[in-house]
């Protein structure tokens, strides 16, 4: 819709399209902001559980140090140091989260409702100004990155150079990496830019909570190393991973999460065959199976909505093929393809014309979306409607979507109703005050047009009046001068102003809508 020199009319059409697109994207935007709040709450809850779990591990180390000082005294001392440094870093991140609330003026609302005001935290300007200046980081931004690096340095100094801790150190380096990152365009960005610049405040706040969760995970990893659980992991339940299996792979904001938690292990065994549906996947392709034995599946997803995924692993056991079936679900939601751009004063529909609309609910198939409103009717095409407003100054469109679980969600939008503006009179292709030879007036066509209007409506003139100075007013039917009008025009002199007025016009094909009065045309005679 962009590029080149656009007329005022085309600009208006483009703006109307953006308003319609914004209506579609609005619901998705709110859902995403609310989802960040839900994730933040999950991380907060996980952090509380991790504190209790880590305390138990530390207590176990304390008892081991008392009973077997030669084996565990040094380990317990190191664990206490890790605990102190981790608590210190955890509290520092808490101050940064508070800073986001304070600088964005969200603290009062947070305290009042006891939860993040997610839908209001859609801007990140305050944090951007605090951590960035142009393409560079501010001193505060540099200090934040330096504090992450300091935590890694502190933990590495505690662990030293022992071979037993090399894997743990590598995990910490990856978990708290601040190295430059390549974005989707292949350009290198600073870690802080890539992760925080330009993001909504609720997203940045949630990332800091997730980083706090990484701290707790690091403590748990190290306490287990100090306890020697890495040696005993084959015989211990700690060698298993708690795996969350959701009933489906996408949920709407506010919807109840359902799923299972099971204990499982990753088997470093390469499958000989892998089938998804009726398709056998190539096991020799790059990345088909990773180092843990996890196989990668790839296929083109179906349309919007919930889908089943079924397949089969095949392994060799005792020289025989052992097939293992698997099944699951996934949910397809519409791909975002537009920004949320809203011109709040342009929510307008026009009386007397068909106003095209596209109506949908993000993540819900079109056949499960119902829209209603006075003058609204569906037309061919997915989510396509036409609004023909009647009387009144406003019309409200109500939209209801049915989720996969049968529950319903709804939204509404109110539009102002405006009349078609008054047409402009035209003679010989010119409007307003024009200059013409009287011969051009005599043979000219009188018409009318809507200037800079969002719809291209065909306007036809049915009659008009013409006044020549010194001559009586002549009534003319149609668009061309009759004999009486031509005779009057012939008597006009150079410099006379001929007025064409009371132009009656209508929309071609629509005799029921009455247009406003057409503006007159005044012609200054330039020659005899």
- DSSP 3-state assignment of 172? helix
- Kindly state whether residue 7 falls inside one of the protein's structural domains: no
Q: What is the biggest distance separating any 2 CA atoms in the chain, rounded to whole angstroms?
A: 125
233 lies in the same domain as 286 = no
165 and 33 in a single domain? The answer is: yes
Do 355 and 442 fall within a single domain? no
Are 36 and 73 contained in the same domain? yes
Q: How many domains does the chain have?
A: 4
Q: Are residues 452 and 412 in the same domain?
A: no
What phi, psi does 79 have (nearest 5°)? -65, -40
CB 33 within 8 A of CB 202: yes
DSSP per-residue codes, 282-337: -TTSTTSB-TTSPBP------SSEEEEEEEEEEEEETTEEEEEEEEEEEEE-PPP-
Alpha-carbon span 500 to 521, nearest angstrom: 5
Q: Is residue 9 part of a domain?
A: no
Q: With respect to residue 66, please indicate whether it lies within any of the assigned structural domains.
A: yes
Is residue 45 domain-shared with residue 167, that is, in the same domain? yes
Q: For residues 122 and 313, what is the distance between their CA atoms, to the nearest angstrom?
A: 44
| Residue 2 within a domain | no
Partnered with residue 448 across adjacent β-strands are: 425
Whether residue 105 is contained in a domain is answered as yes
Q: Is residue 205 domain-shared with residue 215, that is, in the same domain?
A: yes
The answer to whether residues 90 and 183 belong to one domain is yes
Final residue of a structural domain among 208, 238, 268: 238
Domain C-terminal end among 273, 308, 333: 333
Do 504 and 388 share a domain, yes or no?
no
Q: Of 389, 418, 447, which residue is a domain's last?
A: 418
Identify any residues that bridge with 350 across adjacent strands, giving them in sequence order.
418
Instruction: Say which CATH number the domain at 385 has.
Output: 2.60.40.10
User: 223 and 182 in one domain?
Assistant: yes
Residue 4 lies in a domain: no
- Does residue 435 lie in a domain region? yes
pTM: 0.42
The dihedral region occupied by 4, where left means phi > 0, alpha psi between -120 and 50, and beta the remainder, is left
Same domain, 149 and 119: yes
The structure tokens listed for 230 are: 């890495």
Residues 412 and 461 placed together within one structural domain of the fold: no
Structural domain boundaries, residue 291: 240-250+257-333
* Tens digit of each residue's pLDDT, the chain (528 residues): 444 455 555 555 455 544 444 443 444 466 777 777 788 888 888 888 888 888 988 898 898 888 888 888 888 999 999 999 999 999 999 999 899 899 888 888 888 888 888 888 888 888 899 999 988 999 999 999 999 999 999 999 998 877 678 888 888 999 999 999 888 888 888 999 988 988 888 888 989 998 999 999 999 989 988 887 543 343 344 555 555 556 665 655 555 556 665 555 555 556 677 777 777 777 777 766 666 556 676 667 667 667 777 777 776 654 467 777 777 666 665 554 444 444 555 789 998 888 888 888 876 778 888 899 999 999 988 889 999 998 889 999 999 988 877 888 888 888 999 998 999 999 988 999 999 998 999 999 999 999 888 888 889 999 999 999 999 999 999 999 999 999 999 999 999 999 999 999 999 888 888 888 999 999 999 986
**HSE, side-chain direction, 13 A CA sphere, residue 361:** 21
Residue 277 in any domain: the answer is: yes
């Amino acid at each position: 819709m962009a590029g080149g020199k656009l007329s005022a009319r085309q600009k208006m059409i483009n703006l109307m399209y953006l308003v319609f697109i914004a209506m579609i994207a609005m619901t998705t935007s709110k859902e995403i902001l609310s989802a960040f709040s839900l994730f933040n709450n999950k991380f907060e809850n996980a952090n509380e559980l991790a504190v209790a779990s880590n305390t138990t591990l530390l207590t176990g180390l304390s008892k081991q140090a008392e009973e077997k000082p030669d084996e565990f005294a040094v380990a317990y001392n190191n664990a206490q140091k890790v605990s102190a440094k981790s608590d210190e870093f955890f509290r520092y991140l808490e101050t940064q989260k508070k800073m986001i609330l304070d600088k964005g003026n969200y603290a009062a609302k947070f305290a009042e409702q006891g939860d993040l005001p997610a839908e209001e935290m859609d801007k990140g300007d305050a944090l951007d100004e605090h951590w960035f200046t142009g393409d560079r980081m501010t001193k505060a931004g540099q200090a934040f990155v330096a504090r992450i690096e300091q935590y890694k340095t502190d933990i590495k100094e505690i662990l030293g150079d022992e071979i037993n801790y090399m894997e743990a150190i590598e995990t910490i380096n990856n978990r708290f990496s601040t190295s430059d990152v390549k974005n989707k365009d292949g350009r290198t960005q600073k870690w802080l830019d890539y992760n925080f610049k330009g993001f909504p405040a609720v997203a940045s706040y949630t990332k800091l909570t997730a980083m706090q969760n990484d701290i707790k995970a690091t403590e748990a990893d190290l306490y287990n190393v100090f306890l020697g659980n890495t040696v005993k992991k084959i015989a211990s339940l700690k060698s298993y991973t708690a795996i969350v299996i959701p009933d489906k792979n996408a949920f709407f904001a506010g919807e109840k999460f359902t799923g299972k938690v099971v204990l499982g292990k990753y088997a470093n065994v390469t499958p000989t065959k892998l089938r998804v549906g009726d398709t056998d996947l190539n096991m020799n392709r790059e990345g088909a199976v990773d180092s843990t034995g996890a196989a990668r599946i790839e296929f083109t997803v179906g349309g919007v909505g919930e889908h089943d995924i079924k397949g089969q692993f095949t392994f060799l056991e005792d020289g025989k093929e052992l097939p293992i079936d698997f099944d699951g679900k996934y949910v397809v939601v519409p791909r975002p393809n537009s920004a949320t751009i809203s011109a709040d004063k342009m929510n307008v529909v026009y009386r007397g014309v068909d106003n095209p609309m596209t109506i949908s609910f993000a993540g819900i198939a079109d056949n499960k979306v119902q829209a209603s409103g006075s003058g609204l009717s569906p037309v061919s095409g997915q989510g396509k409607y036409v609004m023909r407003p009647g009387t009144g100054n406003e019309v409200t469109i109500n939209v209801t979507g049915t989720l996969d679980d049968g529950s319903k969600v709804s939204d509404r939008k109110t539009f102002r109703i405006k009349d078609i503006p008054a047409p402009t009179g035209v003679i010989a292709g010119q409007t307003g005050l024009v200059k013409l030879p009287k011969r051009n007036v005599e043979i000219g066509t009188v018409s009318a047009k809507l200037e800079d209007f969002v719809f291209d409506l065909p306007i036809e003139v049915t009659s008009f009046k013409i006044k020549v100075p010194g001559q009586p007013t002549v009534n003319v039917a149609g668009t061309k001068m009759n004999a009486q009008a031509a005779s009057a025009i012939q008597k006009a002199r150079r410099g006379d102003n001929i007025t064409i007025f009371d132009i009656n016009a209508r929309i071609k094909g629509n005799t029921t809508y009455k247009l406003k009065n057409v503006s007159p045309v005044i012609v200054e005679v330039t020659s005899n």
